[in-house]
Amino acid sequence: MSHPLYQQHRQTLERAVSAIADRTFWSAYPEVPSGKIYGETAKADGQTAFDARLNKPFAIDQPGESGSVGEEISPFGPKLGITYPRIDLDILVPAALSAMDSWKRASIEDRGGICLEILNRINQHSFEMALAIMHTTGQAYMMAFQAGGPHAQDRGLEAIAYAYQAMTSVPEHVKWSKKVSKTDTVVLDKTYRIVPRGVAVVIGCSTFPTWNSYPGLFASLVTGNAVVVKPHPGAVLPLAITVEIARGVLSEQGFDPNLVTLAADSSDAPITKELVTRPEVRIVDYTGSSAFGDWVEQNTPQAVVYTEKAGVNSIIIDSIDDLRAVTGNIAFTLSLYSGQMCTTSQNIFIPKDGIETGQGPMSFDDVAGAIVKAVDWLLGDAKRGAELLGAIQNEGTIQRIDQAKSDGGTVLRESTPVVNEMFPEARVRSPLILKVDASQQDLYMREMFGPIVYIVETADTDQSIELAAKAARELGAITCSVYSTNQEVLAKAQDASADAGVALSCNLTGQIWVNQSSAFSDFHVSGANPAGNATLSDAAFVVNRFRVVQSRVMVPVEAEAHASL
Amino acid sequence: MSHPLYQQHRQTLERAVSAIADRTFWSAYPEVPSGKIYGETAKADGQTAFDARLNKPFAIDQPGESGSVGEEISPFGPKLGITYPRIDLDILVPAALSAMDSWKRASIEDRGGICLEILNRINQHSFEMALAIMHTTGQAYMMAFQAGGPHAQDRGLEAIAYAYQAMTSVPEHVKWSKKVSKTDTVVLDKTYRIVPRGVAVVIGCSTFPTWNSYPGLFASLVTGNAVVVKPHPGAVLPLAITVEIARGVLSEQGFDPNLVTLAADSSDAPITKELVTRPEVRIVDYTGSSAFGDWVEQNTPQAVVYTEKAGVNSIIIDSIDDLRAVTGNIAFTLSLYSGQMCTTSQNIFIPKDGIETGQGPMSFDDVAGAIVKAVDWLLGDAKRGAELLGAIQNEGTIQRIDQAKSDGGTVLRESTPVVNEMFPEARVRSPLILKVDASQQDLYMREMFGPIVYIVETADTDQSIELAAKAARELGAITCSVYSTNQEVLAKAQDASADAGVALSCNLTGQIWVNQSSAFSDFHVSGANPAGNATLSDAAFVVNRFRVVQSRVMVPVEAEAHASL
């Protein structure tokens, strides 16, 4: 008999497995924060639950606790005042390893059902999670709810679906029979066992702590590994809540809760290097800066490593039909969460001689000016501006804006502080837009994370494509956007993007933006350029989290003959 | 219209895809060297073709030729006298990379059809290949034909099947449609493109140059990469013939033959380190010693690396029904190709108090003696002995036999030179069998490649299992064999083997041996212990040889509505 939780969630899992194959639109967890879906009191309950977390220790009963850490400050103003246990890795990691003993021998269905139940519980906490995401990452409420809640849950489910499909593609038992001579047949009973790798570490980032962590967390867990979650010191709460829920479900189901543990640290005493180089650690999922990601890739030979690092994303403007639709779409992309998405465009390439539009030819300056105007208009409404921009996660990004301005280029649009009426203390800055020449590669051929945009004057669209591809190949890129009414240009951009390993979006207008990535359909990060070595999610993201070990037992042929009488 | 070669081989490919899923017995290429199958003149033609290769340069028209190398000596006696072009990597590797330009844009079906045609042609050369394998590796003729011919071809096809399945599991095009508000729907046309990694290097070994190389070669090629084949200096010819055939088919089909190239070197001027660390090289498949395999794993961060290294395989004897059937099976395993298979058992663990048998209790010494007697009987017939033992590939193995004897342990059976009547110059030595105590780990807890066997006296079967698992965990192991009439012991051995990542065979007798591994059913190497990080073949062996890069194009909704009128 299969596990009751597998029975309960089986349809969702099977639907997810078909979704990753057909890749049309699908979502398991509703993205609309509606009382009709989540319950009329869900929003208020979420607020109450979040408030109750503040200014006290986050209770989590893990082995190896030794002191506490806690330094989260909301980008919208207040200190969270939450402390988390600091842990002794010499106690925690062996406890995680030994927690695998019964988990790894559970069936694929048992583990799958339990992982889906964890996601289900997380989904029920989506309003609390929205506040936890908002007040650690600086995402505005709506985005925090969607990206940190249902979209992250969908990405977790997607990874489980890939892992489930991969594990179940290997039969559990087979009778193998080979005629070895005219009279003799050899029969073997073969058993294939899914064997996990060991302890997995998930390293969270400060901007998308759940969305970027859930795929690795659930892919490792469902394949039989234990998972140590190492949050960014500035965004612990969303992952602490996640770990709490996971531990609760595991305990209820009779498994060791140390299958999922929290390893919080502080920015002045980081533990990541010590953690990921431990011999028990056999899988690492990393999201964060390129420098540290490169270090992890090169210094953990005992582990398989999946990284999402940084990059330089481009927009190529060649020719457009409807100027307002295009500049409106671009302005939204540049403003959303103040450019703090790994998918946000940094460089906009426009030919120096201007472009063709549905309204006639336009000069470079007019196109650049229209983009600036669209941003101004979008942020002109204070409430809409606040909801779009969110807040700047950390002070380093503010300094980077100032640095960008002083480094050079012509300022087309100043970055200015913006007042958030609900949170007057919020750290908000609108996008800085600079004009540079294609030759000024020292300025724009570098990652400038945050609301910093370079509009680059190129010789022509061929050079624009070449420079966008160069950035992707050499610095990494996750997205590229192209606007052209010319099919040949689009085809050329598609070839160049494929070769540079960057996902391309063509002629986006309206309610869809280049920085959106949809679970079950969009492959996030190609793994084919320096922006990361893995994709959220594909088969390659899951199949090496477990191995298959076989055993074969001789079946005496007499017994066979006898059995068939 | 799909490619004529895809049409021609489609059924074979589809049958292979179903074979890797159901894992019952199947083979595409007949293992019987029969004139009825391969043509009445096939054997004689193969001999003629092989003879024509000898004592002259192997002509292969590759860029970057600069001088020649060639040092192959048949373990059965004669020097082959063949020279191969030495190549300049600064010319060859860029040529390989540029050969990918059209290949990577060919369809999955085109590449699949062409790869199957290459295998098909290789199959037609199986008799020539048998002689090439025999006179480089030292395998006896029949084994050289089967393992180096049809079995290797099956392993190549198996890898293609996994890769084909993985690539076709991603749709090429999808129309994605999401309702974003009560009135608006966003529609995107999405395209998913399979993008190869770059140049792949396959490093061959001296004992199974084709069997161990074909999976990596074909998995990389069919996924769009170029492949540089780097043979062991002592076993170049089988891979040179392979490269020649592949280049011929690729040229005929209008592709650049430099998609498959030969990078031969010499033992006094090896090129492997220079080759695998080049930036164009993004995939490495390695078979060989653990020391160099570890080096490759740790020094090629720019590439994904698949290794099969060495290990220490065990037999655990707990209790047996039919003594003669068991010792006969073990004797065959120990003698086949003089223990030069990575799957051959090295250590045989027997409890010091002896075991239960169907013929009553037997002492340790009697069981050990029965194994020795079975080897003596098997090799007593000179013709059978020669056909079983083959020849020792290299002089180092002879020295290792002498070393093992002088290092310690009680000699139960001397290793002696054996005369091969057909090839009086052949380098043939029968197995050395030593008795050691479980405490003498310095002797048996190390890899002693070749016809060297330790029979280890243990406290009991629990200790036998523990020591076999320890060897696997710490030194690596590919196979473990257990003999027991006790279901609890078998279950314990299964758990221990799974945890140690070693494939277990239980109670083998008759025409099936622990050192056999059957394509489409047996996973060769688990990747879960130091014997290697990859499996021949599974999904993990293929899915990271390519990446998927997507592009999405906005579909104006008016156009949609119009089209549906």
Q: Which residues pair with A524 in a beta bridge?
A: A536
Judge whether A208 and A156 are in contact, CB under 8 Å.
no
Helices (H), B254-394: 272-276, 290-299, 323-335, 364-380, 382-389
CB spacing of A522 vs B166 below 8 angstroms: no
Helices and strands counted in chain A (H then E):
21, 20
CATH classification at residue B466: 3.40.309.10
The answer on A165 and A98 residing in a single domain is yes
Q: Please name the residues in contact with A312: beta carbons below 8 A apart, sequence gap of 6 or more.
A: A346, A347, A444, A445, A446, A447, A471, A472, A475, A476, A477
The residue among B154, B551, B558 with the most chain A CBs within 10 A of its CB, best to mutate, is B551
Domain that holds residue B321: 313-506
Distance CA A151, CA A420 (A): 25
Dist. CA B193–CA B195, nearest whole Å: 6
Chain B residues close to A528, C-beta within 8 Å:
195, 197, 547, 549
Q: With CA atoms as reference, report the closest residue to B110 among B197, B226, B223, B247.
A: B223
Residues B18 and B113 in one domain: yes
Is A121 found in the same domain as A64?
yes
Percentage of chain A with pLDDT > 70? 98
Q: What CATH number has the domain bearing residue B132?
A: 3.40.605.10
Q: What's the mean per-residue pLDDT of chain B?
A: 96
Return the pLDDT at B557.
76
Residues of chain A contacting residue B22, judged by C-beta atoms under 8 Å apart: 171, 174
**What pLDDT, in 10s, does the model give residues B397-410?**
999 999 999 999 99
Q: At residue A557, does pLDDT exceed 80?
A: no
Q: With contacts defined as CB-CB under 8 Å, which chain A residues touch B508?
A: 554
Closest CA to B326 of B337, B335, B339, B317: B317
Which site among A554, A555, A558, A560 would you substitute to test the B interface, given the most B Cβ atoms closer than 10 Å to its Cβ?
A554
Which residues in B lie closer than 8 A to residue A521 (C-beta atoms)? 174, 176, 190
Q: What is the DSSP string of A188-255?
A: EEEEEEEEE-SEEEEE--SS-TTTTTHHHHHHHHHTT-EEEEE--TTS-HHHHHHHHHHHHHHHHTTS
The candidate with the shortest Cα–Cα distance to B58, out of B245, B212, B206, B249, is: B245
Angle at which helices B4-22 and B150-168 cross, to 10°: 90
Mutation target for A interface from B20, B22, B23, B299: give the one with most A CBs within 10 A: B23
**Which pair of tokens denotes residue A82?**
């939450």
Residue B518 lies inside a defined structural domain of this protein: no
The DSSP call for residue A448 is -
Q: Would you tell me how many other CB atoms lie within 10 Å of the CB of residue B558?
A: 8
- Nearest beta carbon to residue A23 from set B171, B504, B539: B171
Considering the domain architecture, whether residues A282 and A351 belong to the same structural domain is answered as: no
pLDDT average, residue stretch A38-65: 97
Give the separation between CA B139 and CA B129, rounded to whole angstroms: 12
Shortest CB distance from A494 goes to which of B166, B177, B551? Answer: B551
d(CA B364, CA A531): 60
| Chain B residue closest in CA terms to A484 | B553
Considering the domain boundaries, does residue B515 fall inside one?
Answer: no
Chain A CB contacts of B549 under 8 Å are 497-498, 501-504, 523, 526, 528
Taking the CA of residue B310 and the nearest CA in chain A, the distance in Å comes to: 17
Determine the distance in angstroms separating the CA of A98 from the nearest CA of chain B, rounded to an integer: 13
Evaluate whether residue A20 is within a structural domain. no
Contacts of B191 in chain A (CB under 8 A): 494
Predicted confidence band at B1 (pLDDT cuts at 50, 70, 90)?
low
DSSP per residue, B400-417: HHHHHHHH-SEEEE---B
SS (H, E, C) A449-487: CCCEEEEEEECCHHHHHHHHHHHHHHHCCCEEEEECCCH
Are B276 and B133 contained in the same domain? yes
In angstroms, the CA A509 to CA B224 distance is 34
* Inter-chain CB proximity A184 and B494 less than 8 Å: no
Which residue in A198, A167, A264 sits closest to A542, CA to CA?
A: A167
Show the tokens assigned to B542. 């293929």
Which of A171, A511, A548 is nearest residue B181 as measured by Cβ atoms? A511
Closest CB from B21, B180, B548 relative to A523: B548
Cross-chain CB nearest to B23 (options A174, A553, A554): A174
Compare all CA atoms of chain B with the CA of A507 and give the residue at the minimum distance: B554
B418: closest CA of chain A, how far (Å) = 28
How many CB pairs (< 8 A) connect A and B? 198
Closest Cα partner for A533 from B304, B139, B121, B518? B304
For A427, which DSSP code? -
What are the chain A neighbours of B171 within 8 Å (beta carbons)?
21-23
Closest chain B C-alpha to A483 CA, distance in angstroms: 10
- Whether residues A363 and A487 share a domain: the answer is yes
Answer yes or no: is pLDDT of A565 > 80: no
- Cβ of B548 within 8 Å of Cβ of A539? The answer is no
The ipTM is 0.96
B535 vs A contacts (CB less than 8 Å): 547-548
> What predicted TM-score, i.e. pTM, was given to this entire model?
0.97
Average pLDDT over residues A336-359: 97
Q: Which of A17, A14, A26, A118 is nearest to A539 (CA)?
A: A17
Residue A509 with chain B: CB contacts under 8 Å: 554
A554 vs B contacts (CB less than 8 Å): 505-510, 512
**What are the C-alpha distances in Å from A31 to residues A9, A34, A223?**
19, 9, 27
Chain A hits for B197, Cβ within 8 Å: 528
Handedness of CA B48, B54, B55, B58 (dihedral sign): positive
When pLDDT is averaged across residues A267-273 and rounded to a whole number, the result is 96
Partner residue opposite B526 with nearest CB, options A186, A188, A549: A549
> Is A85 domain-assigned?
yes
Check residue A476 and give left, alpha or beta (phi > 0: left; psi -120 to 50: alpha): left
Residue A559 has pLDDT above 60, yes or no: no
Are residues B284 and B306 in contact, defined by beta-carbon separation less than 8 angstroms?
yes
As to burial, measured by CB atoms within 10 angstroms (0-12 exposed, 13-18 middle, 19+ buried), residue A347 is: buried
Burial of A419 per CB tally in 10 Å (0-12, 13-18, 19+): exposed
Task: Please indicate, yes or no, whether residues A339 and A353 belong to a single structural domain of this protein.
Answer: yes
Are B27 and B155 in the same domain?
A: yes
Q: What is the pLDDT of residue A564?
A: 43
Which residues are registered as beta bridge partners of B348? B315, B455
CA distances from B371 to A486, B384, B459, B503 (A): 78, 18, 20, 23
pLDDT at A3: 87
Residues A223, A254 within the same domain: yes
User: Is residue A43 a part of any domain in this protein?
Assistant: yes
- pLDDT on residue A6: 95
The full 3-state SS of B177-237, as one line of letters, equals EEECCCCCEEEEEEEEEEEECCEEEEECCCCCCCCCCHHHHHHHHHCCCEEEEECCCCCCH
Cβ–Cβ below 8 Å for B549 and A543 = no
| In the predicted structure, residue B221 carries a pLDDT above the cut 70 | yes
Q: Could you read off the pLDDT of A109-161 as tens digits, one per residue?
A: 999 999 999 999 999 999 999 999 999 999 999 999 999 999 999 999 999 99
Residue numbers in A near B186 (CB within 8 A): 510-512
Half-sphere exposure of B146 (CA within 13 A, CB side): 12
The answer to the question of residue B523 being in a domain is no
Chain B residues touching A502 at Cβ < 8 A? 549
Contact B24 A544 (CB under 8 A): no
Q: Tell me which residue in A195, A197, A528 faces B195 most closely, judged by beta carbons.
A: A528
For residues A182-193, give the mean pLDDT: 95
Helix (H) or strand (E) holding B437: strand B432-437
- The pLDDT of residue B46: 98
pLDDT band at B561 (very low <50, low <70, confident <90, very high): very low
**Which of B142, B550, B557, B560 has the most A C-beta neighbours within 10 Å, making it the best mutation to test the interface with A?**
B550
Residue A46 and residue A62 share a domain:
yes
Query: Residue B351 in contact with residue B444, Cβ under 8 Å?
Result: no
Give the pLDDT mean for B457-477: 98
| A contact test, residue of B277, B513, B548 with most A CBs within 10 A | B548
Looking at residue A556, what is its pLDDT?
Answer: 86
Q: Which residue has the tokens 């919208």?
A: A76
A511 assigned to some structural domain = no
At B563 the pLDDT is: 46
Contact assignment for A25 to B554 by CB distance below 8 Å: no
Helix axes of A126-137 and A42-53: crossing angle, nearest 10 degrees: 50
C-beta separation of A180 from A374 below 8 A:
no
Output the pLDDT for position B565.
41
For the stretch A380-406, pLDDT in tens is 998 999 999 999 999 999 999 999 999
For residue B350, what are the β-bridge partners?
A: B457
- Distance from the A14 Cα atom to the nearest Cα atom in chain B, whole angstroms: 16
Return all residues near B495 (Cβ < 8 A) that are at least 6 apart: none
Measured between CA atoms, the residue of chain B closest to residue A542 is B540
Contact residues, chain A, for B184 at CB < 8 Å: 510-511
Number of domains, chain A? 2
Instruction: Return the axis-axis angle of helices A141-148 and A126-137, rounded to nearest 10°.
Output: 120
**What's the pLDDT score for residue A292?**
94
| Chain A: residue whose CA lies nearest to B321 | A556
Q: Is residue A8 part of a domain?
A: no
- DSSP, collapsed to helix, strand or coil, labels residue B361 as strand
For A176, the closest of B25, B181, B503 (CB atoms) is B25
* CA gap A550, A548 in Å, rounded: 6
Q: What is the mean pLDDT of chain A?
A: 96
Instruction: With CA atoms as reference, report the closest residue to A345 among A327, A362, A365.
Output: A327
In this structure, are A281 and A321 located in the same domain? no
Amino acid in the structure at residue A59: A
Q: How many CA atoms lie within 13 A of B223 on its CB side?
A: 31
Structure confidence by residue, pLDDT tens digits, A56-74? 999 999 999 999 999 999 9
Question: Distance, in angstroms, between A187 CA and closest chain B CA?
Answer: 9
Average pLDDT over residues B270-286: 97
CA atoms within 13 A on the CB side of A411: 13
Interface test with A, best of B547, B555, B557, B558 (most A CBs within 10 A): B547
Q: Is A549–B180 a contact, with Cβ atoms under 8 angstroms apart?
A: no
Among B164, B168, B178, most A C-beta atoms within 10 A, so best to mutate, is B178
Contact between chains at B177 and A21 (C-beta distance less than 8 A): no
How far is the alpha carbon of A160 from chain B, nearest alpha carbon, in Å? 16
The fraction of chain B above a pLDDT of 70, given in percent, is 98
Q: Report DSSP letters for B23-75, one per residue.
A: -SS--SS--S--HHHH-TTHHHHHHHHHHHHTTSB-----TTEEEEE---B-T
Residues A178 and A164 occupy one common structural domain: yes
How high is the pLDDT of residue B558?
61
Q: B551, A504: Cβ pair inside 8 Å?
A: yes
